[in-house]
Structures are given as structure tokens and as C-alpha cells.
A and B are shown apart, each in its own frame.
Chain A
Amino acid sequence: MEATLAMPVNAPQRADQRAGKYLTFQLGNEEFAIQVLRVREIMGVQEITAVPQTPGYVKGVINLRGKVIPVVDLRLKFGLAEMEYTQRTCIIVVQIQGEADKLLIGVIVDAVSEVLTLQASEIEDTPDFGSGVATPYLLGMAKIKGKVKILLDIDKVLSSQDVSGLGF
């Protein structure tokens, strides 16, 4: 009994770990997905307080029910063109592993789509884009109804080193 319970967690294949529920969202023309377990809440864009001397993709901080959390624009982080925020623009609050503690970070995306359950068989490894293209923050790809969803490793996307700003 114990052994069967422990199996999925300790299984060596990466594909098995990647299976599960994902929240998908849009960014430009692409669909991305992050593990639902990492998502704390989704909210509309609210007033963001700019923080000086942080990289451009760090939009600032917001008030999450009395907690101050940083917000990152994923478009800018991925080098896409900046867009006006619309009614559909959302902040996804995710929990990531920081240096010391778990921390909450808001991620701005174009629009949130749906929650999907992905089987291990539906997930493929990230294709090799050739040398020079680093893909450390991709978990893999999933093809659902002919459309490709890019699975993100949100910890790596928002590694605190990246968020902490440049220049000092």
C-alpha cells in the first residue's frame, strides 16, 4: 500500500511527475501552462506601485490583502512587445520557492484560458532548438486538440535572482 502511494512521487521518469492539472493562459499568440498547485489566485489587473531600480519586467508591487507582493510582466520577461492592459489581462499569483522561504509573486498574462488535466502520454520533452537556445524554464510541451501548450517551470522562470533586479 505504502509502496503504491509513494510511486508517483518517487518515480524516476520525468514524464510522470509532469502529469497533472495545469492552468493555461495566453501570451501573444502562444498558450502556456503552469501547474495548478502553484497557483494561489487569479485577479484582474489592479493599481501597481512601481519600484525603482528593478528590471523592466518587474512592474512593481501590489497589495494582496495586506501582503505586499512583487508583480512581473511575463510578456516583458519573455521579450515580447509590451501591450496595454485590457479587461482580459490577469495577474496570476503563484507560489515559488525563494532562497529562504516560499514566496508569492504576481504574474501578468494576456488572458487566462482554462484548467487542463494532462496525462503523462500527452506531454513531450522540449524539442532541441539547437545549440545556443537555452530552455531551462520549459518543463515540456503538450499537444491538445492539435494545439501546442508550453509547460513552464515557474520556479525557474521567476528565480529570485532574476526578480531581484540588476545593477547592484
Chain B
Amino acid sequence: MDSEQKASTVGTLNSPNSLASDPELLNDFIVEAREHLTNIELQLLTLDQDPANAEAIHAVFRGFHTIKGMAGFLDLNAIRDVSHEVETILDLARNGQLAINSDVIDAILASKDYLSRALSELDAMLQSGRSPKTESNQALIEIIRGVATGGHEESCEEARPGMPQQESSAVRQEMTGSSAIPEGTTGLAELARGVEAKPGKAVESSKNIDVICSTEAVEASKPADAPAGVARSIKVDTAKLDYLVDMVGEMVIAQSMVRHDPDLATGLRPRLARNLSQLARITDEVQRTAMSMRMIPIGQLFQKTARLVRDLSRKAGKQVDLELSGEETELDRNIVEELADPLMHMVRNAVDHGIETSEERVRAGKPAAAKVALKAAHQAGHILIQITDDGRGLDCEKILRKARDKGLVDADVTLSEQEIFALIFQPGFSTAEKITDVSGRGVGMDVVRKHVQKLRGRIEVHSSIGHGTTFLIKLPLTLAIIDGLVVAVGNQRYIVPIFAVREMLKPSQDAISTIRGREEMALVRGALLPLLRLHRRFGVEPKFSNPWDSLLIVSESNGKQFCLMVDELIGKQEVVIKSLGEAMRNIPGVAGGAILGDGRVGLILDLEGLFGARMQTAASGAQDHA
């Protein structure tokens, strides 16, 4: 029996079963199973905190049970067998025959990961049509069984039925008979096979199938942690949603164009005025609703980090408590997706490098268990995400020394604390091993910052040595619309994103100086800032050629401030960001286009890109001279 079992557990994903080859069914299975796995992980983390939580055990059990049933139906033996084994331990736990400890949770999490990988493999197979690689699940199954037998030997034997293929009809009889108890050992597929194999018992068995079908349907349609009144929702293709939001944005702009039409402005009758303002209210409402449809709570993302912290801290032998708050804060789905990588990265950094070992902490007079806190909150039309640890903090001196060694900072320059912290975001700085060992942070922080900037956000660091580090990420609520300042250069209109603007000013003539005959500088609040003439960069004929006639926009790039010279400010407008298409995607200094109030296209400026490109040309120019 044992060897037979072994043979059957190494399942294959491709089988001659006609159901299994139906791509639509498989796709449905992948989507549904992924939902279950997400929920399973959430519940497992709850169990990790509170091992006696019966509701969580049930929820995890139901998840695996449903996956097993579906996988069996589709002949996905590898998936079915792993789910089956997990189900067995969960069943033991449910009956109080096995205590949930971290070994058990590790085994279940490992199974969850295995299933995730198997689903991805299956998904890839559906996309590409190539035959999937089936990862062996033998080792995993051994681990799970080990956990089960470790808990309670005898009951484990009882609770583990033979594999369906070898099952005697007597056992099947017994099991189908007892299917009212949701023991979870009879999958739909097995029953279905039983029906095929024994036509004589068909009537009797099919009744049981009905029963199980209906309970499974209930279980499958109800997320395990949701209360009875589940929110009714439908699934919509995100591309459609994005298009809707885009078009609503256009509608808002068109509406404002009508409202401000010069023909209407003269002799506006009360009735028309009333109707127009009614239209404005409705478009506003439609826009708000459309935007809210793309909003999802950030909690899902935080939950992923919870898993990461658990794994990392166990591996590193550190005690880490993760505190989450503001999980219900909603933001644009696209932002949540883009935020996943940088957030993971920063949490990993915090646990790996920021936090000391328990002994070090005790020696430093801190509690042995470290604290990592993730907070999200709305603030004045932005989302604020805060990642705080109470670890060793950033060591300014060491960072500065390293930066000087690497030639990033000249030896005679003195930097403020903020400027020094900004150095950790420099590409190349990250690979400096010594820094990561000694002071924490550094691994790929440049990637983190790039991600945040792509989301039109800002990242700040606050740290005090010995007390920990806080990263503050400030993001817009949505990527679709930005608040922009419309500025003019000659007869061209450009949009400057407001989040990038520090201040705007008209300089006096003696505030402008020229260095070495070419580099212009402007004196702003006692600091000399490089001056960048937009008209020169973009080859546009300007209205004013003297900086003191023009408007200077003070912005910041890589922690350094600079001024951008434009002719004048036209106004402030919310604009919908449009891509210029694949042909014009990578123009330095241009982030995209937007339809302005008069129907023309205005280019949205990327101030960082503008200044960055300027630095490059300056550098290459210097090389030419040398």
C-alpha cells in the first residue's frame, strides 16, 4: 500500500481527462484557487498568533478542501495530493488531536507556497501552450506527514484514507456514507469516479454527490472569513476600468471647456447657468465614483509583508513584532501593485539589517523583541506610508565615509543630515557591503526610490542612531490625474506636476550670476541653485530671455534643488495623464501628455528627468574639454 501510494502522489499535470484539458475550466480553477490561497495565508498568520483559533483552522481547512476537490476534478494530482495531506493534519488539529505549533504552520505555509508555484506553472502552461514542469511534491508530503505523525500517531493512520485509485469499494461505501461529516477526505472527483466505476450504486452515490456539491458550493462561494452578509460584487476587467476612468477624466475636462466657453460667458441666462452647474456636480460625482472603483485597501499588501517578516525573523533568529495600522486605507489599484516590490524590499531591509539580534538589543537596553511598524493614512489628498523599525538606525559618519571612499562626495564638502541620508538612495551605493552590515540599509534603495518616483511619490528618511529608522513614502491617491501648473514658454504650454514644485519666484536681476561663462545660478533664500532654461532644452522661442523677467520654478532632484526657467504661469489645472505612445515613451524630461482646457495637447514635464539629463550633458561636456 505504501509504495502504491508513493506512485500515485507524484502526479502529473497533463492527463488525457477531457475536463483537465479545458483551458477555461483550468483558468477558473487557477483564479479561484489563488483566492483561496491568499485567504489561507491570512488565516495561517492569525493562527500563528493564536493557535487555538478554531475559526481560523476551519477556514484554512475549507480552503484546502475546496482546492483539493477542484484539483481532483481536473486530474491535477500533484495539487490534489498536497492539499489532501494538509487537510489531514488540519483535520487532526480540528479534532484537538494535534496542537498547532510553528512547525505545523511552517509545513502548511510550505504547502501553500508549493500550490502557488504549481498554479503559476499551470498558468504559464495555459498562456504558452508548453507542457508544464511538475515539481516533485514527495519531500513536501513527507514533511507534512512527519508533522502529522509527530502530533498523534494513531489518529493519523485513521484519518488518512488510501488514495482513491486503490480504494476498496468497502472503504468508499463507508466514506460516502459519512460524508455528512465534512471530513474532507472525499473529494468530488473521487465520488464521481466511484459513480462511473460502479453503475449499480449510482443512485445511492449520486445523492451523496448532491449533498457534497451543495456544501462545496456554499464553501467555495463564501470567503472563509467573511460574515454571512457577503458584499455583492462582480469581477471587471481592469483594462475596462482604466479606460472608464480615462474617459471620465476627459468628460470632466470637456465639461469645464463648455462651462468656460467665451460664447457662453457673455449673457449667461439663469436657467442655463443652473443647468451647467448641475452638469458640473454630476460629472464630479461620476468622476469620484469611477475613481473609487479602482481603489483597493492597502491591507492586502501589508498582509504580504506580515508573511515576509515572519519568515525572515525566523530565519535570522530575531524576534520581531510587526505592527500594522491603517490597513483599510484605500488607494489606486495600480499604485498598490507598483508598491509591492519597494515595500517588501524595505521591510526586508528593516528586518535583515536595521534590527539587531536579540542579544545586541538586550545589551543596548532595548526589549529583546524588535518592533517593525507599517502605517498607512490619508493626508491632504495624499497617502502616507510609514515604515518604522526600532533597530540600530543609520550611522551618518559611516555613510559619509563610504560615500567619500566611493567618490560620490568630495572630501571637502559638508553635508546636512538629510543630504547624507539621501546618499543611501544613490545607485551603486547599495552594493557597498560594509555599509549594509554596519549601518543597515542600502540594498537596492535606489530601486525603491525609482519605484516611488515612478508613482510620482516622495520618500524621506528619518533616523537616529541607536533608536531606529523611519521611512516615509508620500504618494498621490491615483495615477490617472495629477494637479498641474500650466506654464507657458513662447507659444507652447507645459504642465509642471505640483508635487515636484517647491516654490515659484521672480528673481531680481542681481540674484542671477554666471559661473565660468556658461553655468547660470540663481540666489534663492541664500542658496545658489543651478538655473535651467526650459526654452534652451526644448528648442522653443521664449517670450523673455532674461531670467529676471521670467518665472523660476524651484524643484528638487536627488536631494539637490534647482530652478527651471519658464515665461509665465497660466494657471492650475487637474489633468488626465496620457502616454505619448510607444514611439515617444522615453523622451527625457517629458512624462506624458495631457489635453488642456482648449483641447490642445500639453506636455507634462518630468523635472527630475530634465535636471538629470542636464547633469549628464554637463558631464559629457566636461569630458569633451578634457
Residues on A facing B (Cβ under 8 Å) = 47, 49-54, 58, 60-63, 66-70, 98-101, 103, 105, 160, 163-165, 168
Among B263-271, B402-410, B597-605, the stretch in contact with A: B597-605
User: 22 A–B contact pairs at CB < 8 A?
Assistant: A47-B600, A49-B492, A49-B600, A49-B602, A51-B587, A51-B603, A52-B537, A53-B588, A61-B593, A61-B601, A66-B247, A66-B595, A68-B593, A70-B581, A70-B583, A70-B584, A103-B582, A163-B583, A164-B582, A164-B584, A164-B585, A164-B586
Closest residue of chain A to B582 (Cβ to Cβ) is: A98
B-side contacts of A63, CB under 8 Å: 595, 599-601
Q: Are A51 and B580 neighbours in the complex by a CB distance under 8 Å?
A: yes
How does the 8 Å CB contact mask read for B528-544 relative to A, with 1 for contact and 0 for none? 00000000011110000
Query: CB within 8 Å of A: which of B562-612?
Result: 578-590, 592-593, 595, 599-603
- Interface contacts beyond A54-B584, A60-B601, A160-B582: sample of 9 additional A-B pairs, CB < 8 Å, sorted by A: A49-B603, A51-B587, A51-B590, A61-B580, A61-B593, A62-B601, A68-B593, A70-B584, A105-B583
B-side contacts of A98, CB under 8 Å: 581-583
Give A165 to B590 CA distance when docked, in angstroms: 14
Closest residue of chain B to A61 (Cβ to Cβ) is: B601
* CB proximity of B124 to chain A, nearest CB, Å: 20
* CB proximity of A4 to chain B, nearest CB, Å: 30
Give A66 to B257 CA distance when docked, in angstroms: 13
Q: Are B587 and A49 neighbours in the complex by a CB distance under 8 Å?
A: no
Contact A68 B578, CB 8 Å, known A50-B492, A164-B584: yes
A-side contacts of B602, CB under 8 Å: 49
Cβ-neighbour of B250 out of A61, A66, A101 (below 8 A): A66
Closest residue of chain A to B534 (Cβ to Cβ) is: A52
SS of B interface (majority)? mixed
Closest residue of chain B to A72 (Cβ to Cβ) is: B583
Query: CB within 8 Å of A: which of B253-303?
Result: none
How does the 8 Å CB contact mask read for B229-252 relative to A, with 1 for contact and 0 for none? 000000000000000001100100
Give A164 to B585 CA distance when docked, in angstroms: 8
Give A106 to B247 CA distance when docked, in angstroms: 21
Residues on B facing A (Cβ under 8 Å) = 246-247, 250, 492-493, 537-540, 578-590, 592-593, 595, 599-603
Cβ-neighbour of A99 out of B578, B582, B587, B599 (below 8 A): B582
Q: Are A70 and B540 neighbours in the complex by a CB distance under 8 Å?
A: no
> 6 shortest A-B CB distances, which residue pairs?
A52-B538, A163-B583, A66-B250, A68-B593, A49-B601, A68-B578
Cβ-neighbour of B581 out of A47, A49, A69 (below 8 A): A69
Give A70 to B584 CA distance when docked, in angstroms: 8
Give A69 to B584 CA distance when docked, in angstroms: 10
- Specify which of A47, A62, A63 lies most central, judged by the most chain B CB atoms within 10 Å of its CB: A63
Q: Are A67 and B578 neighbours in the complex by a CB distance under 8 Å?
A: yes
Give A58 to B578 CA distance when docked, in angstroms: 18
Give A60 to B593 CA distance when docked, in angstroms: 11
Closest residue of chain B to A105 (Cβ to Cβ) is: B583
Give A101 to B582 CA distance when docked, in angstroms: 9
A-side contacts of B601, CB under 8 Å: 49, 60-63, 68
Q: Are A165 and B492 neighbours in the complex by a CB distance under 8 Å?
A: no
Q: Are B595 and A61 neighbours in the complex by a CB distance under 8 Å?
A: no
B-side contacts of A66, CB under 8 Å: 246-247, 250, 595
Cβ-neighbour of A52 out of B250, B589, B592, B593 (below 8 A): B589
Cβ-neighbour of B587 out of A54, A62, A67, A160 (below 8 A): A54
* CB proximity of B283 to chain A, nearest CB, Å: 15
* CB proximity of A84 to chain B, nearest CB, Å: 17
B-side contacts of A68, CB under 8 Å: 578-581, 592-593, 595, 601
Give A81 to B246 CA distance when docked, in angstroms: 39
Q: Are A70 and B537 neighbours in the complex by a CB distance under 8 Å?
A: no
Give A145 to B589 CA distance when docked, in angstroms: 51
Closest residue of chain A to B492 (Cβ to Cβ) is: A50
* CB proximity of A13 to chain B, nearest CB, Å: 32
- Specify which of B493, B540, B578, B589 lies most central, judged by the most chain A CB atoms within 10 Å of its CB: B578
Give A115 to B111 CA distance when docked, in angstroms: 65
A-side contacts of B250, CB under 8 Å: 66
Q: Are B584 and A165 neighbours in the complex by a CB distance under 8 Å?
A: yes
B-side contacts of A61, CB under 8 Å: 580, 584, 593, 601, 603
A-side contacts of B584, CB under 8 Å: 51, 54, 58, 61, 70, 163-165
Give A12 to B122 CA distance when docked, in angstroms: 38
- Specify which of A53, A62, A99 lies most central, judged by the most chain B CB atoms within 10 Å of its CB: A53
B-side contacts of A70, CB under 8 Å: 580-581, 583-584
A-side contacts of B492, CB under 8 Å: 49-50
Closest residue of chain A to B593 (Cβ to Cβ) is: A68
* CB proximity of A97 to chain B, nearest CB, Å: 11
